[in-house]
Amino acid sequence: MAKTHTILDLKSSKADPVVEIAARYNNRPDALLEILHDVQHELGHVPESSLPAIANALNISRAEAYGVATFYHDFHLKPTGRHVIKICRAEACQSAGGMQVIAALEKALKVKLGGTSSDGRVTLEAVYCLGLCPMGPAALVDGKPKAAIKPSTVDALIKELV
């Protein structure tokens, strides 16, 4: 069962890191994005169970907190793998063979786009344009850009990670 918070809990809690993070921003609703980033940085993801506490702290609706957390692709409601591959699905990368690269990644990792490998090592996500259009297909691998990825280079790319 999710922990509920009273106003007193929100101001005095030392055990709940989400409440402490919100307090660092003086529980300002305009700091929601920064709070979500800090929660993800400290916990590794933004647990869905943390959204009611954030909403209460900021005096916003739970739907608003959930909507923001799910709208931006950089926030994860579930833990990700130790490594994250964000593969571009924009038109330029697709026309350069991006769908074949995605198929090769899914096969090599034994996971569908949007999932995490069974060993928890790699999460495979879609993004829509990395600004590397002339060098596509492109990806961000642990935040570092990789360009001109080919299905034949996918195994080497994964070996670098694991």
Using the 3D structure, point to which of 48, 71, 94 is the last residue of a domain.
71
Asked whether residue 112 falls in the same domain as residue 150, the answer is yes
Give the pLDDT score at 15.
53
Strands (DSSP E) contained in 19-160 are: 83-88, 122-127, 139-141, 144-146
Using the 3D structure, point to which of 71, 95, 120 is the last residue of a domain.
71
Cβ atoms within 10 A of the Cβ of 3, count?
14
Asked whether residue 90 falls in the same domain as residue 146, the answer is yes
Using the 3D structure, point to which of 42, 71, 100 is the last residue of a domain.
71
Q: Model-level pTM?
A: 0.74
Domain that residue 95 falls in: 83-161
- Residue 162 pLDDT class (50, 70, 90 cuts): confident
